[in-house]
Amino acid sequence: MSVLVVGLNHRTAPTALLERSAVGTDDVPKVLHDLVSGAYVVEAVLLSTCNRTEVYAEVETFHGGVTEVSDQLARISGLALDDLTAHLYVHHEARAVAHLFSVASGLDSMLVGESQILGQVRAAFRASQAEGGIGRSLTTLFQTALRVGKRAHSETGIDAAGSSIVSVGIQLAAATLTGNQLTGERADGDQPPADPTTFGGTLPAGLLADRPVLLIGAGAVGALAGAIVRRAGGGDLVIANRGAARAERLADTLNGRATGLAGLVDELELADLVVSSTGATGLVLPYEVIAAASERRAGRPLVLLDLALPRDVDPAVRDLPGVTVIDLETLRELLEGQQAGRDVEAVRTMISGEVVTYGDRRRAQRVTPTVVALRAQAAEVVGDELARLRGRLGDLDPKTWAAIEGSVRRVADKLLHAPTVRVQALAEAPGGDSYAEALRELFGLPRDAPTVVSAPDLREVP
C-alpha cells in the first residue's frame, strides 16, 4: 500500500483544460465512488479548485493506481488519456506527501501563500469522509497536512507573498496604460515601474496616476487588489459585486463606490483599469458587454486584469481595438521561476521536516501489524502448551496453576519484548521495513511489504 497523487494544475495545464477538468460539488460523490470501486485504489480524496484537480489515493500498487486515477481524470475532462497525460503530474509516497503539504501551505497556489486553499483541502477531506472514501491512511495524511498548513500561515509571513502576482498585474496594467515598457522610462520622467519579476517590490505611489479603476468581485483577491490600487495612486474606485453588502463593506474600506453587476457597460465606459476576480463559473465580462463599452470610450485604452480562474473575461475581446487583456497565464509567464523570498524558503524548510516526521511515523505504523501478529502467534503457542501441560499435570489448585501460567506467559513476554521494541524503533529509520521483513521470515508471519517512504527534495516538488 502506498500514497499517490495524480493531477493537473495551473502550472501544467492551460486555463481551458483546468475549466474542463473541474469537478462540481454535486459530482464529487460519484467520482469518489468510481475511484474506490477500482481494483487498485483503496482510499481517495478529490481536490478540485479553480487552480487544480487532483486525486490523492492510497493504492495497492503504483502502476495500477496511476492507471485508474488517470483514466478517471480523462473521463472528467472529456479528453483522450494520451492527450491529457502531457498535463498530468504523478507523485508517489514522500513526494506525494510533500506535494500535499505544499498545497495546504499555499506554496503551490497561483497566488502564493493564499489561505483559501487550506479551507478547500479541509472541504475535500470532509467530502471523502462523508462518502466513506477515506480510511486510516489518508485521514492521518490530511489531518497532518491541515496542521502543516496552519503552521505555515501562523509561523511565517507566507500570507504576504501572495500579493506579488496582484502587484505585478497592476504594474503591467499601468505600463500598458501609459504606453511604456515595464522597465522603460515613464512619460512624466519619474522612475519606471518596479521590475515585475521581482517579488515583494513596492509600487510607486503615483503609478496609476489617478486613473479610474473598476474592481469586479469583493472577495480576498479583490480586496487585496483594491488595497494595492489605492497605494499605487488609483483614482475613482468602483467595486461591483453580486452581493451588495460585501461590495459596500469593501467600498467603505477603500473609499470607493459600490454597485451591482447589472450596469457593467456604464462602469466599463468610465474605468481605465478593470480588475476582475470573481468565483463565477461562467464569463462575467462577455464579448458583447466589452464591445458595447468600447464603442462609448472614443478610443481611450482599456486594460482588463483577469485574476479569476475560471476566467471572467471572454478571450475574444483581445481583438477589440484599444482593449488589452492581462490574465493569469500572462502573469504566470512573467513570474516563471521566481520565488517569494525568505518566507517561501522558511515554509519549504518546515515542510521538509514535516515530511520526514510523517515518514518516520508511517514506517513505524507499518511495522505494527507485524508486531501484533508476532505477539498473537506467541500467545497462541503459549496457550496450546499450557493446555497440554495442564492435561499432563492433572488437577492443581487454582493458586498453583495461576503461578505456573503466569510464569510461562512472562517468559514469552520477556523473550518478545526486546525484539519487538527494537524493531519498532528501527522501523522509524529509512529502510526500517527490512527489520519487519526479517521478523516475518523468521517466524513465518503473514507477509505484507509496504513501500518504504523516502525523503524528497522539496525544490523538485511542485
Catalytic residues, by residue number, are: 50
Place of cell 496453576: 401
Q: Does residue 223 contact residue 209 with C-beta atoms inside 8 Å? A: no
Angstrom distance (rounded) from CA 431 to CA 367: 12
d(CA 203, CA 197): 13
Identify the CA nearest to 276 among candidates 244, 302, 313, 310.
Answer: 313
Residue 285, beta-bridge partner list? 313
Cis peptide before 310 (omega within 30 of 0): yes
Distances (CA, A) of 408 to 331, 389, 401, 418: 73, 11, 11, 17
CA angle 382, 385, 387 (to 5 degrees): 110
Each residue of 404-421: b (16+ CB within 10 Å) or e? eeeeeeeeeeeebeebbe
Closest CA to 276 of 170, 204, 193: 170
Position 368, amino acid: T
d(CA 413, CA 418): 9
List b or e across 442-461, with b for residues whose CB sees 16 or more CB atoms inside 10 angstroms.
eeebeeeebbbbeebebeeb
CB atoms within 10 A of CB 105: 30
- Residue whose C-alpha is closest to residue 42's, from 172, 110, 118, 136: 136
DSSP-assigned beta bridge partners for residue 259: 240
How far is C-alpha 149 from the chain's CA centre?
Answer: 10
**Residue 377 burial (CB count, 10 A):** 15
Neighbours of 336 (CB within 10 A): 9
DSSP β-ladder status, 52-59 and 41-48: antiparallel
Bridge partners, residue 324, by sequence:
303
Residue 19, all three cell numbers: 475549466
Q: How far apart are CA 329 and CA 247, in angstroms?
A: 27
